[in-house]
Amino acid sequence: MHNEIKYEGKGKALYSTDTPGQLIQKFKDDTTAFDGKKHAVVTGKGVLNCAISSWFFERLHEAGIASHYIRRESADCMRIHELHMLPVEVVVRNMAAGSICRRLGLEEGLKLARPLTELFYKSDALGDPMINTEHAVLFGWATAEQLDTMRELARRINRLMCDILQDAGIVLVDFKLEFGLLDGKVVLGDEITPDGCRLWDAQTGQKLDKDVFRRDLGGLSEAYHEVAHRLGIEGVA
Ligand code: UDP
């Protein structure tokens, strides 16, 4: 099937293909939290994440937002353009949850007056520390112009995703994006799945994302199935 493995992370693996510049991104059933200290295999999660991520990348493409996505290759694999990844993660928050609550003493669920973007340096060894624009530019992780583009794209993606999810009765609390360079241009990479988003039922507040696993709140694949079902996503088995 694919050629050699180029990278293996906690939730995904990348394989080379016979076409230069194209890779296969495989979504794994492995699920980790707390810097890998908590681990489980959730059967079917790879297929769900591949279906959800492919679906969102297609919606973004329709809205004119470029990404590494080419097509869904199989149940749990996406064909992508190989990017030169920038080691800066962008988190967008609409409500307070997770690390911002621990850091600033905010109550979970506090609605933010406007979407907030935060930057994190992608380093497993350092536990992805929060950084600002000056750190990223000073240490050469991205240029000021690239960071402006990343933040602007992240805000546009947030608006689109909020609208789509609202129609499905889901609140987009926060999410994480990663970007890379394709022919020198900043484009969206990585994934858009409930592993990297906080999604709450609009009526009940029920969590439909990886917090279900982090906090032992029930079945993870049931929650992800619910998200896929409400969005009308097919091919989730
Ligand atoms: N996130 C992620 N990968 C990371 C860190 C965060 O996908 O390495 C996502 C996380 O799922 C949440 C958002 O980014 O939707 C904000 O995460 P936060 O900073 O609150 O950290 P956490 O509470 O996940 O430790």
User: Which CATH number fits the domain that encloses residue 99?
Assistant: 3.30.470.20
The verdict on 124 and 48 lying in the same domain is no
The verdict on 57 and 90 lying in the same domain is no
Q: Whose CA is nearest to atom 21 of ligand 1?
A: 99
- Who's near 87: CB < 8 A, 6+ residues apart? 121, 122, 123, 141
Q: How far is the CA of 175 from the centre of ligand 1 (A)?
A: 7
Print the domain residue range for 11.
2-81
The verdict on 111 and 194 lying in the same domain is yes
117 ligand 1 Cβ < 6 A: no
Domain membership of residue 230 (yes or no) is: no
The verdict on 22 and 137 lying in the same domain is no
pLDDT digits (tens, 9 = 90+) for 107-163: 999 999 999 999 999 999 999 999 999 999 999 999 999 999 999 999 999 999 999
Q: Report, as ranges of residue numbers, the positions in the chain whose pLDDT lies below 50.
A: none
CA atoms within 13 A on the CB side of 138: 6
The verdict on 108 and 187 lying in the same domain is yes
The verdict on 57 and 122 lying in the same domain is no
Domain membership of residue 43 (yes or no) is: yes
The verdict on 91 and 199 lying in the same domain is yes
CA of 196, closest atom in ligand 1: 7
- The CATH number of the domain holding residue 50 is 3.30.200.20
128 ligand 1 Cβ < 6 A: yes
| Backbone angles phi and psi of 84, in degrees to 5 | -90, 100
CA of 173, closest atom in ligand 1: 15
**Number of domains comprising the chain:** 2
Q: Whose CA is nearest to atom 8 of ligand 1?
A: 128
**Among the three residues 42, 59, 81, which one is the final residue of a domain in this structure?**
81
| Backbone angles phi and psi of 174, in degrees to 5 | -160, 165
The verdict on 71 and 121 lying in the same domain is no
Q: Whose CA is nearest to atom 7 of ligand 1?
A: 196
pLDDT of the residue at 3 = 78
Q: Whose CA is nearest to atom 11 of ligand 1?
A: 196
The verdict on 39 and 132 lying in the same domain is no
**Among the three residues 81, 104, 121, which one is the final residue of a domain in this structure?**
81
The verdict on 198 and 131 lying in the same domain is yes
What does the H/E/C string look like for the chain?
CCCCEEEECCCEEEEECCCCCEEEEEECCEEEECCCCEEEECCCHHHHHHHHHHHHHHHHHHCCCCECEEEEEECCEEEEECCEEEEEEEEEEEECCCHHHHHHCCCCCCEEEEEEEEEEECCCCCCCCEECHHHHHHCCCCCHHHHHHHHHHHHHHHHHHHHHHHHCCEEEEEEEEEEEEECCEEEECCCCCCCCEEEEECCCCCECCCHHHHCCCCCHHHHHHHHHHHHCCCCCC
> Contact at 8 Å (CB) between 180 and 66?
no
The verdict on 33 and 100 lying in the same domain is no
pLDDT of the residue at 35 = 87
Domain membership of residue 236 (yes or no) is: no
Domain membership of residue 50 (yes or no) is: yes
CA distance 180 to 150: 9
Q: Is this prediction's pTM over 0.85? A: yes
Domain membership of residue 237 (yes or no) is: no
198 ligand 1 Cβ < 6 A: yes
Domain membership of residue 146 (yes or no) is: yes
Domain membership of residue 152 (yes or no) is: yes
176 ligand 1 Cβ < 6 A: yes
The verdict on 57 and 113 lying in the same domain is no
